[in-house]
């Protein structure tokens, strides 16, 4: 048996808080449904007693509903840890107890793909249904399994946000920063066609003395609304600039919370750090992590001041934030990055058409564009067909403690 399907159980409880649900889950469901031409897509979480609807696309009023586990079709997917396809619920010979929930809801076609927790237990499903009979081939099922992996990552980020503040109090994070435990890890940014190096992104990591290497989702939410966020951003930036100063003429990208731009004291410290850094400002690219509270007028003035130093500015995570598309037009930026929640759907018409438009916009306006989250050869093939100039992700290189030249076959544990 696949070790990812070891058992159901208590792990599901880590994912069922509807107050913590990210809107990105619904976006992923919509993309998955459109990719295989289904009218409805639902994210179910199942524990030993109940099935919970965490997010839904194509049907109103379903999110937050709870159904006894024994009255669901998805229980079979969680129990076996394998996908289940019912081509026509009105004409099927499988277990009647699995067909009955579909027939009562007036549904004919069902596809359930298992979702697994970080503990490798099946905790839910990516469930697609339709009132009409829908054809589904092997490639479609493979694509849905890829969307399921994206949902798993989103669920893990949500889970981390829920527990971070309690696990890592502010004083512990401050101590970690003072000890130099919070530092950059470097991931290559490359031309997907030639694999020619463009530069690196310096990704924030915490080498916790007891919990090991932690991604930013495990601790940054606890400091996002405090001045400690600036301290971390500046520390990572200064370290990355120092490390890169002795390398070739490649560019280093560093994440910066967009909220710094509209707070004069923070902006002043950021400008000083850029001007006094060990790396020429022309080799520094600041990736603005979007904040819904940003005032466009103040942000534009701040971006202009940073660019006057020679620094490049790009908008991070386009496709995930609520207003990044409008800011791509109004802000004086040098480029943007396409979020992994979009690139996960590469190879489907709906995503390829959208990305084609974004890439064409970048080319026409002399903007850089980087596709994030690239993990498979198929995604690379799609990027090349779309003429996307730059990409990064685990397919090319996992984050490293120091910038290293890209080499084929790099395989290390994901961090």
* Longest distance between any two alpha carbons in the chain, whole Å: 72
**Confidence at residue 22, expressed as pLDDT on a 0 to 100 scale:** 65
Sign for the pseudo-dihedral over CA of 154, 155, 161, 167: negative
Which has more pLDDT, 344 or 333?
A: 333
**CA torsion, points 212, 159, 52, 93, in degrees to nearest 10?**
-40
Structure-block tokens of residue 184: 């950059």
Measured CA to CA, the distance from residue 285 to residue 334 in angstroms comes to 9
Q: Quick one: average pLDDT of 120-130?
A: 91
Q: How confident is the model at residue 415 (pLDDT cuts 50, 70, 90)?
A: very low
Which tokens sit at 15?
């994912």
* Nearest by Cα to 148 from 109, 179, 116, 183: 116
pLDDT tens column, 177-199: 999 999 999 999 999 999 999 99
Q: Please tell me the predicted confidence (pLDDT) of residue 6.
A: 34
Mean pLDDT score across all residues of the chain: 87
Between the CA of residue 59 and those of 42, 73, 130, 239, what are the distances in Å?
9, 18, 11, 49
pLDDT at 73 over 70: yes
Structure tokens at 328: 């791509």
Beta carbons of 393 and 376 less than 8 angstroms apart: no
Q: What is the pLDDT of residues 389-405, one digit of tens each?
A: 999 998 999 899 999 87
pTM of full prediction above 0.85: no
Q: What is the mean pLDDT of residues 214-221?
A: 87
Q: How far is CA 192 from CA 337, 348, 354, 360, in A?
A: 14, 19, 19, 17
Per-residue confidence (pLDDT) for residue 178, from 0 to 100: 95
Structure tokens at 115: 């979702």
Q: How confident is the model at residue 16 (pLDDT cuts 50, 70, 90)?
A: confident
* pLDDT for 236 beyond 60: yes
86-101 pLDDT, tens digit each: 999 998 888 899 999 9
Model confidence at 4: pLDDT above 60:
no
The H or E element that residue 201 is part of is strand 197-208
CB 214 within 8 A of CB 206: yes
Beta bridge partners of 207: 213
Q: What pLDDT, on the 0 to 100 scale, is given for residue 93?
A: 85
The Cα–Cα gap between 310 and 58 comes to 47
What is the mean predicted confidence (pLDDT) over 371-382? 93
Interacting residues of 40 by C-beta distance below 8 A, sequence separation 6+:
33, 56, 57, 58, 59, 128, 129, 130
Mean pLDDT of 6-10: 39
pLDDT band, very low/low/confident/very high, at 291 (cuts 50, 70, 90)? low
| Range name among 171-185, 299-313, 325-339 with the lowest pLDDT average | 325-339
Q: Which of 213, 219, 229 is nearest to 169 (CA)?
A: 219
């Amino acid at each position: 048996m696949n070790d990812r399907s070891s058992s159901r159980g208590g792990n599901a409880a880590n994912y069922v808080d509807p107050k913590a649900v990210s809107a990105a889950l619904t976006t992923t469901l919509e993309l998955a449904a459109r990719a295989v031409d289904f009218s409805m897509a639902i994210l179910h979480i199942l524990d030993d007693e109940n099935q919970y609807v965490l997010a839904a696309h194509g049907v109103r009023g379903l999110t937050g509903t709870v159904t006894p586990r024994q009255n669901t079709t998805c229980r079979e997917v969680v129990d076996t840890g394998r996908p289940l396809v019912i081509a026509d619920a009105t004409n099927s010979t499988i277990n009647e107890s699995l067909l009955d929930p579909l027939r009562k809801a007036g549904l004919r076609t069902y596809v359930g793909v298992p979702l697994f927790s970080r503990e490798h237990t099946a905790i839910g499903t990516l469930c697609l249904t339709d009132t009409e009979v829908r054809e589904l081939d092997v490639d479609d099922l493979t694509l849905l399994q890829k969307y399921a992996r994206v949902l798993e990552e989103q669920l893990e980020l949500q889970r981390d946000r829920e527990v971070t503040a309690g696990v890592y109090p502010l004083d512990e994070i401050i101590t970690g920063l003072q000890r130099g435990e919070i530092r950059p890890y470097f991931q290559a940014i490359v031309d997907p066609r030639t694999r020619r190096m463009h530069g690196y992104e310096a990704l924030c990591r915490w080498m916790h003395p007891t919990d090991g290497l932690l991604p930013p989702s495990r601790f940054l939410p606890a400091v996002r609304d405090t001045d400690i966020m600036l301290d971390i951003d500046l520390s990572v930036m200064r370290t990355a600039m120092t490390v890169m100063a002795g390398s070739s003429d490649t560019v280093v990208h560093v994440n910066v919370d967009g909220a710094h731009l509209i707070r004069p004291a923070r902006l002043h410290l950021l400008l000083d750090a850029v001007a006094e850094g060990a790396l020429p400002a022309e080799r520094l690219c600041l990736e603005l992590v979007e904040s819904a509270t940003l005032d466009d007028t103040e942000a534009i003035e701040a971006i202009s001041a940073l660019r006057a130093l020679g620094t490049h500015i790009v908008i991070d995570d386009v496709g995930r934030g609520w207003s990044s598309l409008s800011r791509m037009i109004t802000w004086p930026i040098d480029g943007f990055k396409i979020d992994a929640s979009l690139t996960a759907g590469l190879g489907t018409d709906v995503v390829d058409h959208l990305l084609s438009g974004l890439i064409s916009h970048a080319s026409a306006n002399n903007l850089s564009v980087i596709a994030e989250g690239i993990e498979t050869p198929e995604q690379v093939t799609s990027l090349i067909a779309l003429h996307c100039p730059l990409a990064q992700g685990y397919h090319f290189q996992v984050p490293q403690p120091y910038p290293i030249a890209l080499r084929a076959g790099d395989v290390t544990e994901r961090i």
